[in-house]
Amino acid sequence: MGRIFEVRKSTMFARWDRMAKQFTRVGKEIVIAVKAGGPDPATNPALRRAMQNGKAVNMPKDRVEAAIKRAQGKDTSSYEEILYEGYAPHGVAVLVETATDNHVRTVANVKSIFNKGDGALGNSGSVAFQFKKMGVFRLKPEGLNTEEMEFELIDHGLEEMGEGTGENGEDVLVLRCAFTDFGAMQKALEEKGITPLSAEVEWIPTTTVSLSEEQAQDVLKLVDKLEQDEDVQKVFHNLA
Kindly indicate the confidence band of residue 17, based on its pLDDT and cuts at 50, 70 and 90: low
Kindly indicate the confidence band of residue 20, based on its pLDDT and cuts at 50, 70 and 90: confident
pLDDT, position 16: 45
Helices (H) and strands (E) in the chain, counts: 7, 8
Question: How far apart are the C-alpha atoms of 230 and 220, rounded to whole Å?
Answer: 18
pTM of the model: 0.91
Whether the CB-CB separation of 133 and 203 falls below 8 Å is answered with: yes
Where do the H-state alpha helices sit in 95-192?
Answer: 103-116, 146-153, 182-191
Alpha-carbon dihedral 156, 129, 97, 76, rounded to 10 degrees = -70
- Write out pLDDT tens, residues 39-71: 999 999 999 999 999 998 889 999 999 999 999
Specify the fold of 12-71: Arc Repressor Mutant, subunit A (1.10.10)
- Write out pLDDT tens, residues 179-226: 999 999 999 999 999 999 999 999 999 999 999 999 999 999 999 999
- Write out pLDDT tens, residues 139-189: 999 999 999 999 999 999 999 999 998 877 789 999 999 999 999 999 999
Q: What would the mean pLDDT of 4-9 be, rounded to a whole number? A: 78
Residue range(s) of every CATH 3.30.70.980 domain in the chain? 80-129+206-237, 131-205
Who's near 166: CB < 8 A, 6+ residues apart? 138, 172, 197
Residue range(s) of every CATH 1.10.10.200 domain in the chain? 12-71
Kindly indicate the confidence band of residue 240, based on its pLDDT and cuts at 50, 70 and 90: very high
pLDDT surpassing 50 at residue 73: yes
Share of the chain above pLDDT 70, in %: 96
Closest CA to 25 of 238, 235, 204: 235
pLDDT, position 15: 45
Specify the fold of 80-129+206-237: Alpha-Beta Plaits (3.30.70)
Which CATH number is correct for 131-205, 3.20.20.70, 3.30.70.980, 3.60.20.10, 3.40.50.80? 3.30.70.980
Who's near 192: CB < 8 A, 6+ residues apart? 149, 152
